[in-house]
Amino acid sequence: MPAYAPQMADSFMVILDSNLLWLSSLHQYLLYSGDVATVKHLLPTAEKLLTLLANYTNEDGMLDEPPFAYWLDHAVNDRRGANLTLNGHYLNAVENYAEILDWLGRSGAESYRQQGQKIRHAIKEKFWHQEKGLFVDALIQGKQSPQYSEHGNAMALALDIASKKQANTVIKYLLKEDDNNLIKRANGMTVVTPAMSYYLALFHNTVVPR
């Protein structure tokens, strides 16, 4: 799978988050176009990609130290171990693919839904830093990263992973008008840049402070 879409040539690069966004885009394409024939034609490629990625998952169903590059954003983000933002993309792709299989009357959707639930639970429980009140960037061999970013925390809100209590705490950080240099906030949290700003904006429509 090349960075953005299947192609015939042998020369390609792999960027995992772009691959995962392609899977989610396939879901959106079917939803809004109804073009079943094209999606059925692309289904073997999607399945091949997901089968490959499954080789690099841990006991929580998350991508952990994958051997391929991923980009995320022009910003500092802890890419060691299981990265929250990458696995947010993975979660979205897995759940979207399960829905594609349902729509097409194909088997196999339940296993992807179960994997999605495992990923959701792991992010909610293992990436949450109780004292800080934020989700950490990554989990490295079972240990939390010392880094925090708007990327991962916005992803936890936009994909409705965070509990209401967690969400309310995160929102206070994200909405705070503190001094920052457009790279890091005053509290050390990495600031999102345009490539990931969609997820930071999306949480406004999914989580309401209480």
Average pLDDT over residues 13-18: 88
Judged against a pLDDT cut of 90, whether residue 38 lies above it is answered with: yes
- Tell me, what's the pLDDT at 206? 53
Q: What is the pLDDT of residue 209?
A: 45
Between 39-43, 111-115, 174-178, the lowest mean confidence (pLDDT) is in 174-178
Q: Note the pLDDT of residue 210.
A: 43
Q: Average of pLDDT values for 73-92?
A: 95
Sign of the Cα torsion 191, 192, 193, 194 reads: negative
Structure tokens at 207: 């989580």
> Rounded to an integer, what is the distance from CA 49 to the centroid of its chain?
16
Residue 58 has pLDDT above 80, yes or no: yes
- Per-residue pLDDT, averaged over 116-143, amounts to 97
Residue 160's nearest CA partner among 193, 205, 101, 196 is 205
Mean pLDDT over the full length of the chain: 92
> Which of the four CATH numbers 3.30.1490.20, 1.50.10.10, 3.50.50.60, 3.40.50.300 does domain 16-206 have?
1.50.10.10
**pLDDT tens-digit readout, 166-210:** 999 999 998 888 887 888 998 899 999 888 888 888 765 555 444
What average pLDDT does the segment 79-98 reach? 97
Say what the pTM is: 0.93
Question: Strands, E, within 33-103: which ranges?
Answer: 82-83
Contact 137, 184 (CB under 8 A): no
What ranges do the domains of the chain cover?
16-206
Cβ burial of 107 (10 Å; 0-12, 13-18, 19+) is exposed
